[in-house]
Amino acid sequence: MEYLAFRLGKEEYGIDILKVQEIRGFEAVTRIASAPAHILGVMNLRGVIVPIVDLRIKLKIGTPVYNNFTVVIILSINGRVTGIVVDSVSDVTTLAPEQIKPAPDMGSAIDTEYLIGLGAIAERLLILIDIDAMVSAADFGLID
């Protein structure tokens, strides 16, 4: 499978590339009153109103900094378009099944139910996220 690799803080994560619609530079969004802190707001993407979630805030990974490297990954999951803000995107990586190791339960920022495992590529480890399950979860704040 192919995974889009991105950074949140000092860690590198991966999501299924087939869920990615596009990658955009960070731009201002329209804030929605009383939305959870991790939902930065919405943006108009070619006529589609897209909620934008900052994964750094949602997962409590450091203090978010918005700069030239900050990007929004636009996802298409179960017919819903959502944007996630990450520190940077690095590359698309192909992983064979034997390169994916089970994720240990170590009290990480991401609940293990949202982890596929760890992708081992030479000296590099990708934390593989089940982005479908994460975005669809009630605590993510995007349930209709």
Residues 73-122 have pLDDT tens digits of 999 988 889 999 999 999 999 999 999 998 776 655 566 778 889 998 88
Bridge partners for 126 per DSSP: 119
SS3 category, 124: strand
Q: How far apart are CA 103 and CA 82, in angstroms?
A: 26
pTM of the model: 0.88
In the predicted structure, residue 138 carries a pLDDT above the cut 70 = no
**Token reading at 98:** 């034997």
Average pLDDT score over residue span 52-69: 87
CATH code given to domain 2-140: 2.40.50.180
pLDDT of residue 58: 85
Region class of 57: left (phi > 0), else alpha (psi between -120 and 50), else beta? alpha
